[in-house]
């Protein structure tokens, strides 16, 4: 009996090792939580680095002397110029529409108080004007309270600017030094395995690049069409609304809906016919985007079926919010590429003659 007890006794070293692993896991989770902001920046930088690496490689191959540093610098300068151009493109309508809004704001407020104009008419139709007039003191108190978190807003803006600069620098260094790190890691594997890993990495990079370019094209189309419909309908601040719709359309699954809600609300403030026209436009456009534009883009780039896209977005949104929704489709495509390679080279393809049972009888003979 004592021998059995002695044999079943767990060594002290095993107990200490288990406790150490548990404590190390807890410490790792705590560290990840504490540096989650930095990890987010690293993930975003890696995403853009993977997307820009093929362009840098293409330019490097066509430069005299194959200078990767020069190719990387030129590509990132081009990206910086494009971002500045896009920012200016967005800033011009924002500044113009904002100036127009600031100039018209006193008149709009006066008309709303008297129940005149588009806003006043809408408030009067919905009986909201009476509520505003009855609760003026509470509304003023609420409006004055909105100015208190100004310091928090400025801090968020500063963090965003620092994050954007950090992401840009990290992506630059990843693209510049990436081949050295990759080559050093691949040297640890046999040549055949290293070739497979390189091919899979190239397929993943093409998926990310294709997804980014395709999504940008779809968003630009959405913004341009929205602007045309708003102008034709006579809705004010058409440029500002169209820019917002184009930006939120970058968010998969829910972005187009958010933009549609804002556009339709602005149209209904202008007039009921304009609101109805915007509803018809967004319903038709979302059908075209969901069943024509997105399938064509995703089929040629990330090669994911619609069910996989929706499931990936829902899971990613639950795990990482808006960042997850932006990265869901390319990450799902990369997982698909890796899984396909593992299936082809490790698990093996299905046997030419499927069999069942212990005696391995061909399935066709069972039927």
**Are 268 and 122 in a shared domain?**
no
Of residues 39, 42, 79, 58, the one with CA closest to residue 205 = 58
Residue 361 phi, psi dihedral angles, 5° rounding: -70, 135
Could you tell me if 127 and 244 lie in one domain?
Answer: no
Handedness of CA 329, 332, 338, 343 (dihedral sign): negative
In DSSP notation, 185-212 reads HHTTS-HHHHHHHHHHHHHHHHHHHHHH
181 and 39 share one domain? yes
Full domain range(s) for residue 37: 27-135+158-188
Based on the fold, state whether residues 224 and 323 are members of the same structural domain: yes
Q: Quick check: helix, strand or coil at residue 148? A: coil
Q: Are residues 113 and 254 in the same domain?
A: no
In a domain, 308, yes or no: yes
Residue 324 placed within a domain: yes
Calpha distance 247→94 (Å, rounded) = 13
Would you call 259 helix, strand, or coil by DSSP? helix
For residue 246, being part of any structural domain is answered with: yes
Q: Domain total for the chain? A: 2
Residue at 10 is within a domain: no
| DSSP one-letter code for 290 | I
Burial level of 180, CB count in 10 A (0-12/13-18/19+)?
exposed
Shared-domain flag, residues 214 and 247? yes
Burial bucket for residue 181 (CB in 10 Å: 0-12, 13-18, 19+): exposed
Nearest CA to 328 out of 172, 217, 215, 243 is that of: 215
Q: What is the distance, to the nearest Å, from the Cα of residue 236 to the centroid of all Cα atoms in its chain?
A: 29
Q: Looking at the structure, tell me whether residues 217 and 183 fall in a common domain.
A: no
Q: Which neighbouring-strand residues pair with 361?
A: 356
Q: What is the pLDDT along the chain (367 residues), one digit of tens a residue?
A: 455 445 567 677 888 888 888 999 999 888 888 888 888 888 888 888 887 887 888 888 887 777 888 888 888 898 888 778 767 766 666 666 666 666 666 666 666 665 555 565 665 665 555 665 665 666 556 555 545 555 566 677 777 778 888 888 888 888 888 888 888 888 888 888 888 888 888 788 777 777 877 788 888 888 899 999 988 888 877 877 888 888 888 776 677 788 888 888 888 888 888 888 889 999 898 888 877 777 677 666 677 776 777 777 778 777 777 677 777 788 888 888 888 888 777 655 555 555 554 555 554 454 4
Which 8-state DSSP code applies to residue 301? Answer: T
In a domain, 224, yes or no: yes
Same structural domain, 65 and 170: yes
CB 245 within 8 A of CB 222: yes
The verdict on residue 149 lying in a domain is no
Residues 213 and 118 in one domain: no
Structure tokens at 156: 């968020």
Residues 6+ apart with CB under 8 A from 243: 90, 93, 94, 223
Tokens of 231: 């102008």
Which structure tokens are listed for 309?
Answer: 């896209």
**Burial category of 215 from C-beta neighbours within 10 Å (exposed 0-12, middle 13-18, buried 19 and up):** buried
Residues 229 and 180 in one domain: no
Q: Which of 254, 262, 245 minimizes the C-alpha distance to 313? A: 254
Are 131 and 236 contained in the same domain? no
Query: What are the helix and strand counts (H, E) for the chain?
Result: 15, 2
**Residues 269, 121 share a domain:** no
pTM strictly above 0.75: no
How far apart are the two ends of the chain, measured CA to CA in Å? 57
Decide if 237 contacts 100 (C-beta within 8 A). Answer: yes
């Amino acid at each position: 009996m004592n021998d059995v007890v002695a044999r079943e006794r767990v060594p002290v070293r095993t107990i200490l090792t288990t406790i150490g692993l548990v404590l190390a896991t807890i410490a790792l989770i705590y560290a990840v939580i504490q540096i989650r902001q930095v990890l987010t920046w690293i993930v975003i930088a890696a995403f853009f680095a993977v997307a820009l690496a093929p362009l840098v490689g293409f330019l490097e191959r066509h430069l005299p002397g194959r200078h990767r540093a020069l190719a990387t610098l030129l590509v990132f300068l081009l990206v910086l110029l494009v971002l500045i151009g896009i920012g200016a493109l967005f800033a011009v309508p924002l500044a113009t529409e904002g100036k127009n809004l600031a100039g018209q704001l006193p008149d709009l407020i006066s008309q709303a108080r008297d129940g005149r104009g588009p806003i006043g008419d809408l408030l009067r139709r919905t009986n909201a004007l009476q509520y505003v007039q009855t609760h003026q003191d509470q509304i003023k108190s609420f409006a004055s309270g909105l100015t208190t978190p100004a310091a928090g807003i400025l801090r968020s803006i500063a963090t965003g600017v620092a994050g954007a600069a950090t992401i840009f620098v990290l992506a630059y260094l990843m693209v510049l030094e990436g081949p050295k790190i990759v080559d050093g890691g691949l040297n640890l594997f046999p040549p055949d395995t290293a070739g497979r890993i390189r091919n899979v990495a190239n397929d993943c990079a093409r998926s990310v690049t294709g997804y980014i370019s395709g999504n940008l094209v779809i968003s630009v189309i959405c913004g341009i069409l929205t602007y045309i419909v708003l102008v034709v309908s006579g809705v004010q601040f058409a440029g500002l609304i169209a820019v917002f719709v184009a930006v939120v359309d970058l968010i998969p699954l829910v972005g187009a809906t958010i933009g549609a809600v804002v556009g339709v609300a602005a149209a209904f403030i202008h007039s009921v016919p304009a609101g109805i026209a915007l509803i018809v436009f967004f319903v038709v456009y979302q059908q075209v985007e969901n069943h024509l534009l997105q399938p064509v883009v995703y089929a040629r780039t990330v090669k994911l079926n619609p069910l996989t896209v929706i499931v990936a977005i829902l899971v990613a949104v639950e795990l990482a919010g808006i960042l997850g929704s932006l990265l869901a489709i390319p990450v799902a495509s990369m997982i698909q590429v890796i899984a396909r390679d593992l299936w082809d080279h490790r698990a093996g393809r299905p046997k030419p003659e499927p069999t069942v049972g212990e005696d391995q009888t061909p399935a066709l003979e069972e039927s």
